[in-house]
Amino acid sequence: MTYDPSNIFARILRGELPMHKVFEDEKTLAFMDIMPQAEGHTLVVPKCPAADLYALPAEFAGPLLATTQRVAAAVKKATGAPGIMIAQLNGKEAGQTVFHLHFHIIPRRHGADLAMHAHKMEAPEKLAAMAEKIRAALG
């Protein structure tokens, strides 16, 4: 799969589009999903041009997983959710819609049904408030 540098996550990484940042280091960025499947739905992306898992340079694999693990713990704490779903899709047939590798961190509660993708954008002020709660949970 060819990487398209105009994808929405590449544009976010370049600072061309706004986002509600949760965490950032040299190799990764975590931010709120604007169409969350559940309150606290957060995305983690590598700071490199990788369309999917197969294109990820090895030196980003460890940091990407470490950030996902750290942010997932903070999302769990901030939302009080009893469970966290981590999702990562590769290819259109798998349901991937943004072709920049990313992990979904989605709080789960008993009885909450989730589709593969949400279709409603969340209010920016709600995303900002949740991002603040998750940052606080990160310490």
Catalytically active residues are: 102
Which positions ≥6 away from 23 have C-beta within 8 Å? 29, 30, 67, 70, 71, 74, 134, 135, 138
Structure tokens at 68: 């996902």
Phi, psi of 3 (to 5 degrees): -80, 130
Which positions ≥6 away from 40 have C-beta within 8 Å? 75, 78, 79, 81, 105, 106, 107, 130, 133, 134
